[in-house]
Amino acid sequence: VPIIDDAGNVREWVGTCTDITDERQQEEKYEFLLRAGQLLSSSLDYETILQRVADLTVTRLADWCTVHIVEEDGGIQQVALAHRDPKMVEYARELSRKYPPNHARLRAPGGMLETGKHELVSEITDEMLVQGARDEEHLRITRNLNLSSYMAIPMITRGRTLGIISFFACDHDHYFEQD
């Protein structure tokens, strides 16, 4: 609002500003949850549903999203994969073929499939990449992914863990936190 002096000139401006960042972030979370709920009820084919949820996730929450389910025989299979850059999806599939995930950690006593507890790595360090690498090429590839943060959430129904949805951030300005 302009403050006008006696000569009719603008002497100064006065204004207010309301920071609505928190409210907007809450709105976005609710919109995401609403959309995810709509997707979950959109089909009877669980693989289609889980792929749609993974696709939605990379538009709002993460750079990568994978969904693994526990099969009847106890095996673990990836049923969905999405990345912000569609070209990276095939790259990720190739990486999984060349370096299949070791699911023993998930099945081990105290592992996520037994406990049903989520896993959060707020900041992925180079030391973590070195520890997890199977060889020099694997280390080079994982470093090139530019991973910054990770979280995995078990999908549980009636006390049984059906699978795990995992989220990866690849931008070192983006980190997952407990909330």
- pLDDT tens profile 75-95: 888 899 999 888 888 888 888
What pLDDT, on the 0 to 100 scale, is given for residue 127?
95
What pLDDT, on the 0 to 100 scale, is given for residue 108?
64
* Coil, strand or helix at 109: coil
pTM for the whole thing? 0.73
Strands 76-83 and 10-13: unpaired
What pLDDT, on the 0 to 100 scale, is given for residue 141?
86
Which residue ranges in the chain fall short of pLDDT 70? 30, 32-33, 36-44, 105-110
Q: What are phi and psi of 125, to 5 degrees?
A: -100, 165
